[in-house]
């Protein structure tokens, strides 16, 4: 497996407004360049427009055009300076992990799945290509990336009954529905069931640049918890290898930042793979995409392949993978 790292560091001083970008392949630095704040604002404006389109159903042709323009902008700002050096070294036919490493949430939350190199398809549409995001200190070591495949698959779903994800009738999995609204109750169920996959469906929000998932306390009062607080309960010691944060209030924009901040903190807290999936996965197109993913994963297909096997048409919301 080849590891292609994009490392983005904040300005080194108050007088330097540029971000420092390093492109690295299998531990070897290939190039360094700067990205100005003005250029970053241009990219983010295009990304914001791209994500606004996904607040409502859109024609497939418009979705594909938005994916193309966003992917070109991401490539131009981050990978284009290194591409002449990089392309001769890209091994044909081998799996490639695109590893995004930065302490900057506004960078790590970009839709890297649609990154579009010249004469190629968006990143996630290429067989063997996968993505991982790592927040925090880019100097820390990173794990070896296993191809997560579970058979038989065990799933714990924490959700209210009316918004529970629709599981495929043929799903070859052990499934436990968990309506517990407290974090303590969720952890009790997790310790006893020991699932491979936990799905947290509910409300996520941002406060003071941190992501929170909304639980309730024993009196039924709101009890928002960060990803770090959830991970500190020992979820990764219960056999959990993947955790999905999902949910989107009806009529509201997807909680991109809240779910991504949560997923990032959960990954930093020790969950091997976390996925921010800020959509309504119990109805409509979101449900069809999510159900197809679970059905494929339950057949023993590795997680990344299962996630992106169903992208002939743009999914309603692009999941973001951390770990």
Domains plus CATH for the chain? 2-134 (no CATH), 153-322 (3.40.50)
Q: Give every residue of the chain whose pLDDT is below 50, as ranges.
A: none
Q: What is the pLDDT of residue 11?
A: 83
Helical pair 37-53 and 60-74, crossing angle rounded to 10 deg: 160
How far is the CA of 184 from the CAs of 33, 135, 200, 230, in angstroms? 47, 27, 14, 10
How far is the CA of 298 from the CAs of 131, 163, 175, 178, 191, in angstroms? 21, 21, 11, 19, 21
Q: What is the pLDDT of residue 167?
A: 76
Asked if residues 247 and 278 have their Cβ atoms less than 8 Å apart, the reply is yes
Nearest CA to 259 out of 243, 246, 249, 271 is that of 246
Asked if residues 275 and 319 have their Cβ atoms less than 8 Å apart, the reply is yes
What would the pLDDT profile of 60-80 be if each residue is shown by its tens digit?
A: 787 788 888 999 999 999 999
């Amino acid at each position: 497996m080849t590891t292609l790292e994009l490392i983005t560091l904040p300005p080194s001083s108050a007088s330097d407004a540029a971000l420092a970008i390093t492109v690295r392949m299998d531990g070897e630095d290939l190039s360094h360049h700067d990205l100005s704040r003005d250029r970053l604002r241009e990219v983010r404006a295009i990304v914001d427009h791209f994500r606004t389109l996904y607040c409502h159903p859109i024609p497939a042709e418009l979705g594909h055009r938005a994916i193309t323009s966003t992917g070109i902008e991401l490539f131009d700002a981050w990978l284009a300076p290194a591409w002449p050096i990089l392309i001769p070294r890209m091994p044909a036919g081998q799996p490639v992990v695109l590893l995004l490493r930065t302490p900057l949430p506004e960078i790590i939350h970009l839709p890297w799945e649609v990154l579009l190199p010249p004469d190629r398809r968006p990143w996630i549409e290429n067989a063997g290509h996968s993505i991982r995001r790592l927040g925090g200190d880019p100097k820390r070591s990173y794990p070896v990336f296993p191809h997560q495949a579970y058979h038989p698959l065990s799933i714990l779903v924490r959700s209210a009954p009316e918004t529970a994800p629709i599981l495929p009738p043929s799903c070859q999995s052990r499934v436990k529905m968990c309506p517990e609204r407290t974090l303590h109750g969720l952890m009790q169920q997790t310790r006893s069931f020991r699932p491979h996959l936990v799905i947290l469906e509910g409300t996520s929000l941002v406060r003071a640049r941190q992501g929170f998932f909304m639980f309730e306390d024993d009196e039924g009062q709101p009890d928002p918890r960060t990803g770090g607080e959830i991970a500190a309960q020992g979820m990764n010691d219960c056999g959990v290898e993947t955790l999905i944060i999902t949910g989107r209030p009806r009529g509201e924009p997807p909680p991109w930042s809240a779910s991504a901040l949560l997923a990032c903190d959960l990954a930093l807290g020790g969950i091997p793979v976390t996925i921010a999936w800020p959509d309504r996965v119990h109805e409509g197109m979101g449900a069809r995409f999510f159900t197809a993913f679970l059905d494929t994963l339950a057949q023993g297909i590795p997680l990344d392949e299962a996630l992106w096997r169903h992208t002939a048409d743009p999914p309603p919301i692009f999941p973001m993978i951390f770990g």
